[in-house]
Amino acid sequence: MMPAIPRLSLVLMLAVSLMASVPMSCMAQSRPAVDGIVLEGGKPIAGVELFLGKFPGKNEPCTDVGELIPVSADGSFSWTPARERERTDAPTDPGAVIAKLTALCIRHPAKGVLIGVMLFMRRYDPVAIRLDCDVARPHRGGNGPNTVSSMLGQPQYCEAAAAN
């Protein structure tokens, strides 16, 4: 017969291993908090519209319109973070590698729809981001933390920085 202490250790190890395999519910960030400004050559753009690209969508990130983002007369915009309850299989490190893509799209009255920025966020690391967008200065993406190069090397028009 086993002594009480080793038997208790065995029961505890068995309980911990069973708990590790049970999906748990936790809150995940589905999009970051953002404050930003959209300009053209340093000036506000009359008639500009911003929207979040809808995922999953077509291969082009700004072809499917998701949520519309209001833009003030001075070009500033913001949105609050969105969080959702989701289940995870890793209670000690939930979703460490699970990430979410957020595309900010700019509908310019003369230039059409442009990719503002593609943000790649780890869902369990809530962050706030500052976006400075100027449609007169395209770049090839990857500028600032949490940004990724857009599909097919398309230019992006926003630079991302961690908000203070």
| Interatomic CA distance for residues 110 and 159, integer angstroms | 22
The dihedrals phi and psi of 78, each to the nearest 5 degrees, come to -165, 160
One pLDDT digit (tens) per residue for the chain, 164 residues: 555 555 556 655 655 555 555 555 666 667 788 999 999 999 999 999 999 887 655 667 788 888 899 999 999 999 988 776 666 555 555 444 466 778 899 999 999 999 898 887 766 667 788 999 999 998 765 556 556 555 556 788 998 887 76
| Interatomic CA distance for residues 109 and 129, integer angstroms | 26
CA atoms within 13 A on the CB side of 33: 8
Are the CB atoms for 117 and 160 separated by under 8 Å? yes
24-162 in CATH: which number?
Answer: 2.60.40
DSSP annotation of 141 reads S
Domain limits, the chain: 24-162
Q: Name the nearest CA neighbour of 148 among 116, 120, 106.
A: 120
pTM of the entire structure? 0.71
